[in-house]
Structure formats: structure tokens, C-alpha cells
Amino acid sequence: MQKLAEICVRRPVFATMLILALTVVGVFSFFTLGVDLFPRIDFPTITITVVNPGASPQEIETEITDRVEAAVNTISGIDELRSTSVEGVSQVFVTFVLEKNADVAAQEARDKISLILDELPETAEAPIVLKLDTDAAPILRIVVSAPRPLGEVNELAENRIAERLESVSGVGRVEIVGGSRREIRIQVDPNRLRAFNVTVNQIVNAVRAQNLEVPGGRLNQGAREATVTIIGYLGVALAFVIALAVAGFEFTNLAIIAGALSVGIGFGLQAIVNNFVSGLILLFERPIKTGDWIVVGNTEGYVKRISIRSTMIQTFDRADVIVPNSDLISGQVTNWTLGNTWGRLKIQIGVAYGSDIETVIETLLEVANNNAEVIKGNPKLPDPYALFLDFGDSSLDFELCAIIRDINRRRYVTSDINRAINAAFNKQGIEIPFPQRDLHVRSLFGHQDAEGIDLVDSRLLGRAGGGAV
């Protein structure tokens, strides 16, 4: 400070210019400084909400809150973990350290929650994981009023104003507050209830039972195509009959046409008729559908289209194979995805002699259980298991079996599990051997020198192309 004061005293012009320069830079920076009313700040805080209608706070805490806390407690970087359990609702608040990325924390929480979905009550709704977002706060409020009934104003705000605001770039959410919705109020007479011995709950259940929306079934792609194809052929047949009627054709002559067709079928149309009938069977019974993974003889691939005469199969090499429908009905067909996409995966592997069998089996099961595509804990399906099959020529042979969610991803799941097995075996020091053979060399003539070393006739070496021993 003394040096600075000495410079200002001895060089007043320099000090004045320095102060003016700092002042100019400050004024310029002040006017160019960006100002944001709502600056973007990412707080590493997430909220996990689970709704279970009608459950008491004690049940919410023991059945939901404790399990959610135990699942997310293993996430790294947690600064604070607190929860609230009220009637029908469980909320868990997780606050992370500032260095933790909020998006990464939310994704890790979703992954942990997905592992305990089977442990939550069946009546509970799907957990909702949200991160604290300051940008989600409303920044604009619009009041809508009109000399009309409140219901019409609410419909106007929903169908016209809200839809246009949602299409504006940068708008994340539009929420309508204060509107009224159409409802029906039922007022009961207590005296008549007592006279008929009817309770209020019975009336509520009766009204609820009369206003249910029950799904009538699911029409998949194969059923839609079958319906369209059959309707198309029926339409063509009906149009043909109408055209004959308009042309004045007498239907008594149909017997002659039917006789001619029977003669033609007897002479050479058996295959065509067979394929036609087989196509109708495929369309009605639907043992295979569009999109199924099937194996017919040496052909394996996905069903691309089913017609009356033939079926098109697209192989994994992107080649289209036309298969007559009669082959699909009379021959053996393997459908990997007929009822569902579940399928068993078998991986065979060999380890070196001397390896610990229990360690190998535990390692294989651990790899299978850590894969997200493998189904675990389903009472209808077996859990992954590993078997010690045989003593091989060069290895101890094992087999890992597991049920995966989508058999269409069998190759990818096999690759992931093989990579994980290789990494786990390297970590455990388990060796995967290569094929080995023992070679025993014996003398052709049995001659030995004084030291017992086998000798080979030089003439034999000469016939073999020469050489030295």
C-alpha cells in the first residue's frame, strides 16, 4: 500500500489515467452485463412419489417408503435423505452434493427404483421420479373471462387457447386452473335408504359398476391383416356375383361351372387349391403372425407378409423368401414369438482342469443375474441356473441357462453375457483353455546308440527329402 501511495503522489497523471481506465471498463461492463430474472440453476435434488390409494400412513411407510429409501440409499453422493408418509402417498426427497449431476442422479434413482417394482404393493401406482427444476415454475399467467357459462369458458380455454400456447416454441407446460368440469350429483334420501335397507356405499358401487370401461380385447397386426385380407376377397367375390347378376347371368349354370372347376382341380390345380386353403387356415387360426420369428426347414427369419397363396419371410441377411402356405401347414414350423417374446438362452463354456467348480457356477450365476434382459423372480419362469455337464477332452464343461425378456435380442444378450463372463473369469483367475493333445513320438526301427538315443536310418530320411538328425 505504501508503494501504491508513493506512485500516486509522484505520478499523479498516471494514477488519474489508471482510475479513468478502470471507471470506463466498469461502466461498459455494467451496461453489457446479462440479467436473468430466473437464472438457470440445477439443484441436485430429486423427488420420488408413490401413490397407493386408501393405504394408511403406517402401511405407506413400511410397504413403500422404507423400501424406496433402502433402494436409493446405495447411490453415491447423497447429502440428505428424508421422506414423508401420509395417507395414500409416499414422498422421498434425496439431496445430493453440488458436484453431482442432477440428470445422472435422477437416472440412477430410476434404475434403483425399477429393481424393487415387484416388491411394492400391487395396488400402488408406478413411482414418479422428478428432479427439482426451477425452470418449471410458471412465468406467465393468463386470465380468461367471457359472458358465457363457466363450462363453455373452460372448454374454450382447453381446446383453443391452451392448444395454441403448447405449440409455441419454448413452452414446456400449460396448466388450466379454476375451470369447472361436467359432473352429475346424486342426492340420496336417508329415510328411503333405511326403508329399503340400502347403504350409501352400495349406491356408490352400483353407480361405479354401471360406468366401467372394460377393454374388449387387443387386435394385433396379424389379426388386422387377416381381417383386411378376408374382407378384400369377400368383396371381390361379392362384386363378381353382382356383375354376373347385372349382366343377366343365370345362376342355374353355376353347377356347370362348378363341375368344370372340379375337373380342372383334378388335372393340375391341386397345389394352387392346397395353398389357397392353407392360406385361409393361416388367416383364421393364426399359428403365425406378421412379425413372428419362425424357422421353416432351412429358412429362418421374420414373417413379413401373409397372403392367400404364400408367405414372405425376411431372413436375417435381409433376403425375402417366398414359402408356399401348404409347407407351413403340413410341415414343422418353429415359432419363437407365438405367445410372447420370452425365450431361453443357453451358453456353453469350458474352464481349465483344476478350477474350483463352485466358484465357476457362482460366477456364471452372478453374471446372469446382473444382466437386465434376464428374467428373475418370476414365479412362472425358472431363475437362471448353471450346470456342470461333463469332463471334456481339454476342459470342464459348463452350461448357463436363463430366460430373457425378448428372444429377438438373443444375439446381443449372448454377446453381453459372454463379455461379462470373460471379465469375471479374468478377475477370479479362472482360465478358459484351448484344445490340447498329447503327442508321443516312437522310433521307426527301434535302434539305439550307446546312450539310449533312438536312431533313424539315413536312407529313410533321403527318401523323405533329406535332413539331419
Q: Tell whether 386 and 404 lie within a shared domain.
A: yes
Q: Report how far residue 92's alpha carbon sits from residue 74's, in angstroms, rounded to the nearest whole number.
A: 14
Is position 216 within any domain? Answer: no
- What's phi and psi for 400, nearest 5 deg? -105, 125
Q: Report how far residue 277's alpha carbon sits from residue 283's, in angstroms, rounded to the nearest whole number.
A: 10
* pLDDT at residue 402 in the model: 92
Neighbours of 234 (CB within 10 A): 10
* pLDDT at residue 152 in the model: 82
* pLDDT at residue 464 in the model: 45
* pLDDT at residue 145 in the model: 84
Reported as type and span, the H/E element at residue 190 is helix 190-196
Q: Tell whether 238 and 306 lie within a shared domain.
A: yes
Identify the CATH number of the domain in which residue 368 sits: 3.30.70.100
Quote the domain boundaries for residue 22: 2-31
C-alpha cell at 135: 425452470
C-alpha cell at 205: 358401487
Contact 158, 179 (CB under 8 A): yes
Identify the CATH number of the domain in which residue 112 sits: 3.30.70.1430
Q: Tell whether 312 and 402 lie within a shared domain.
A: no
Reported as type and span, the H/E element at residue 269 is none
State the total domains in the chain: 4
Low-confidence stretches of the chain (pLDDT < 70) are: 1, 34-42, 133-138, 212-230, 233, 249-273, 276, 283-285, 438, 440-469
Q: Tell whether 276 and 235 lie within a shared domain.
A: yes
Q: Report how far residue 375's alpha carbon sits from residue 406's, in angstroms, rounded to the nearest whole number.
A: 10
Is position 56 within any domain? Answer: yes
Say what percent of the chain tops pLDDT 70.
78
Is position 213 within any domain? Answer: no
Identify the CATH number of the domain in which residue 314 sits: 2.30.30.60
Is position 171 within any domain? Answer: no
Neighbours of 85 (CB within 10 A): 22
Is position 350 within any domain? Answer: yes
Q: Tell whether 312 and 376 lie within a shared domain.
A: no
How many angstroms separate the Cα of 244 from the Cα of each of 231, 257, 444? 20, 13, 94
* pLDDT at residue 173 in the model: 76
Q: Is the pTM of this model over 0.85?
A: no
Contact 427, 419 (CB under 8 A): no
Domain stops at, among 104, 136, 168? 136
What is the identity of the amino acid at 339?
Answer: G
Please give the distance of CA 144 from its chain centroid, rounded to a whole number. 43
C-alpha cell at 66: 422404507
C-alpha cell at 266: 383334378
Q: Report how far residue 195's alpha carbon sits from residue 278's, in angstroms, rounded to the nearest whole number.
A: 65
Say what percent of the chain tops pLDDT 90.
14
Beta strand ranges found along 240-368 (DSSP E):
293-296, 299-306, 310-315, 320-324, 333-335, 343-351
Of the candidates 289, 292, 299, 301, the one whose C-alpha atom is nearest the C-alpha of residue 229 is: 289
Q: Tell whether 322 and 362 lie within a shared domain.
A: no
Is position 461 within any domain? Answer: no
Is position 433 within any domain? Answer: no
Q: Tell whether 313 and 365 lie within a shared domain.
A: no
Is position 444 within any domain? Answer: no
* pLDDT at residue 465 in the model: 45
Domain stops at, among 292, 313, 335? 335
Of the candidates 296, 300, 298, 301, the one whose C-alpha atom is nearest the C-alpha of residue 325 is: 296
Q: Tell whether 237 and 328 lie within a shared domain.
A: yes
